Amino acid sequence: MRNLIYLIIIFSFACNQPAENTPTTPFVMVLGVAQDAGYPQMNCKKECCKRAWKNPDLQRTTSCLAIVDPISKEQWIIDATPNIKEQLQLLKQKTGTEKLDGILLTHAHMGHYTGLMHFGREVMGTDNLPVFAMPKMKNFLEENGPWSQLVKLENINIKAIKSDSTFSLNDRIKVKPFLVPHRDEFSETVGYEITINGKTLIFIPDIDKWEKWETDITELIKKVDYAFLDATFYKNGELKRDMSEIPHPFVEESMELFSELSNKEKAKVHFIHLNHTNPLLIEGSTAQKVVLKKGYNLAEEGEIIKF
Ligand SMILES: [Zn+2]
Ligand SMILES: [Zn+2]
Ligand SMILES: [Zn+2]
């Protein structure tokens, strides 16, 4: 009997412990790499999604990063995706908990905020969970149901943030939102710069085209340590519709633009936010080989970024 009790104690202890080789200083973890709709995409019967429907190992969730501080045991996520439930389980495997200390939002497209619905009465019923949002995004959530109910019932507490204005998540982690051009129907769109231990990471899951942005992305890559960048489409013609209606930098265009960078700088780039049609989702595809051979990285779910 005593042995059984020991076993139960050891087992429950092991269950609540973070996974081995988890960093002891703040880090970023990739929780999702796909475009808003995830991979495979609903109702897609084409070659791109065929294998992923049959094999869950090939499926990918919507782009999302977690920021984790193992010292204070705090954790935040950038964007609340439709896959938040699975993504917090993935986070828990690494940190031992799915409890969040806040959510940072980029914009009001379906892949980036609709996961907030899980914090309401029907599910978590959280108490004033901090949600960091730009002014139009904040207003959109406050003025439109069902999001307005999360505000009214104080499930979430929206913290207004300003572009190009740095704020601290705690003593060790600084964050700066910055505006990027995108189809801003309901909100502005921001990317985030995260600074930990003197090193920086930028996350831009959605942007129309690099040329439309006043910031020179190539110069910015030189200044930062990691760049998680919009790679929605690999190349023009990937969709059988007018792709100028949904502009994104094609990965081919980005690689052309970044070709002047040194190998060390190219290695900072992690392509993320992949549409179901993007061949970078297919293991061993020619596109994957090209991107990796040129020295760029592909964001991977579960990947840990150290600072
Ligand atoms: Zn998106
Ligand atoms: Zn597909
Ligand atoms: Zn978007």
DSSP 153-181: TTSEEEEE--TT--EEEETTEEEEEEE--
Q: How far is the CA of 206 from the centre of ligand 1 (A)?
A: 5
Among the bound ligands, name the one nearest to the CA of residue 37.
Answer: 1
Q: How far is the CA of 111 from the centre of ligand 3 (A)?
A: 8
Q: Is 265 helix (H, G, I), strand (E, B) or coil?
A: helix
Confirm if 46 and 285 have CB atoms less than 8 A apart.
no
Among the bound ligands, name the one nearest to the CA of residue 35.
Answer: 1
Q: What is the DSSP letter of 257?
A: H
Which residues crowd ion ligand 1, with CB under 5 Å? 36, 109, 111, 206
From the list 70, 69, 105, the residue with the least C-alpha distance to 84 is 105
Low-confidence ranges of the chain (pLDDT < 70): 1-19
Q: How far is the CA of 45 from the centre of ligand 2 (A)?
A: 7
Instruction: Say what the pLDDT of residue 4 is.
Output: 52
Among the bound ligands, name the one nearest to the CA of residue 180.
Answer: 3
d(CA 147, CA 150): 5
Instruction: Say what the pLDDT of residue 3 is.
Output: 58
Q: How far is the CA of 126 from the centre of ligand 2 (A)?
A: 35
Instruction: Say what the pLDDT of residue 195 is.
Output: 98
Look up the pTM and report it: 0.94
Residue 67: exposed, middle, or buried by beta-carbon count in 10 A (0-12, 13-18, 19+)?
buried
Q: How far is the CA of 260 from the centre of ligand 1 (A)?
A: 28
Q: How far is the CA of 60 from the centre of ligand 2 (A)?
A: 12
Q: How far is the CA of 42 from the centre of ligand 2 (A)?
A: 8
Confirm if 120 and 146 have CB atoms less than 8 A apart.
yes
Among the bound ligands, name the one nearest to the CA of residue 40.
Answer: 2
Instruction: Say what the pLDDT of residue 5 is.
Output: 53
Instruction: Say what the pLDDT of residue 21 is.
Output: 79
d(CA 227, CA 239): 26
Alpha helical stretches, state H, the chain? 2-15, 47-54, 84-95, 110-113, 135-143, 147-152, 217-223, 251-257, 263-266, 286-293
Instruction: Say what the pLDDT of residue 16 is.
Output: 55
Q: How far is the CA of 275 from the centre of ligand 2 (A)?
A: 8
Instruction: Say what the pLDDT of residue 57 is.
Output: 97
